Amino acid sequence: MTAAIAIAMRTDKQEVSPLAIFANGQTIYSDGEKCDWAYRVAFGAVSLYRVLACGRRQIVSFHLAGEWFGIEQGRRRQFTAEAIGPTGILCANLAADQCSALLPAVLDALWSAREHQLVISRQSSHERVAAFLLEISERTQDKRRFDLPMPRADIADYLGLTIESVSRAITRLKCSNAIRLVGPRGVEILDRDRLRSFCD
């Protein structure tokens, strides 16, 4: 957490502090820090990741507008949280008595984590990318036409692939007319069923 933001948050003792704004690539919290706060994305996106001993980075989850992250009561941070593009974050104090509000968010996170396990352990590169596009689609406003908040490198580190494999898979989905690209970030789903059929 950068100093400026930490001060901004500490000035507000309410349950939910005002918006804290992070620039692209800025760290919200780091692996190993104490867990004092839970967070919610107001706008933009956040990635949770760890850099492994071998130097590779694994992103375990993305969090889009409206979604909670960083609920890890009574522990040290398991991962680093980083803003993807300009991102607004709402902060909530991690008091024990709020568990009734936090439990659903944690159950959601567990649900997502396990669905993601299915994707990254057994699926081919095309299946992973197709599943990823559908996943993002379901979590954004316009489910047909949306912009990926993150670069290919982040998608690759999330899906356990290389940038090249992600690119090739996207190209193939494009050539099959399941999707259309609007620049590198814009995605339009032309045939959701066909896209789904790529998910095995």
Task: Write the interaction track for DNA spanning residues 140-159; mark x where CB under 7 A is met and - where it is not.
Answer: -----------xxx------
Candidates 13, 121, 141, 183: give the one binding a second copy (CB under 8 A).
Answer: 121
Could you say whether residue 180 binds DNA (CB under 7 A)?
no
Could you say whether residue 193 binds a second copy (CB under 8 A)?
no
What string of H, E and C letters represents the secondary structure of the chain?
CCHHHHHHHHCCCCCECCCEEECCCCEEECCCCECCEEEEEEEEEEEEEEECCCCCEEEEEEEECCCEECCCCCCECCCEEEEEEEEEEEEEECCHHHHHHHHHHHHHHHHHHHHHHHHHHHCCHHHHHHHHHHHHHHCCCCCCEEECCCCHHHHHHHHCCCHHHHHHHHHHHHHCCCEEEECCCEEEECCHHHHHHCCC
Task: Write the interaction track for a second copy spanning residues 142-181; mark x where CB under 8 A is met and - where it is not.
Answer: -----------------xx---------------------
| CB of 38 or CB of 179, closer to DNA | 179
Half-sphere exposure of 127 (CA within 13 A, CB side): 11
| CB of 100 or CB of 141, closer to a second copy | 100
Least distance from C-beta 121 to a second copy, angstroms? 3
Least distance from C-beta 85 to a second copy, angstroms? 23
Least distance from C-beta 123 to a second copy, angstroms? 8
Interaction site with a second copy (CB under 8 A): 50, 52-54, 56, 58, 60-61, 71-75, 78-79, 96, 99-100, 102-104, 106-107, 109-111, 113-118, 120-122, 159-160, 199-200
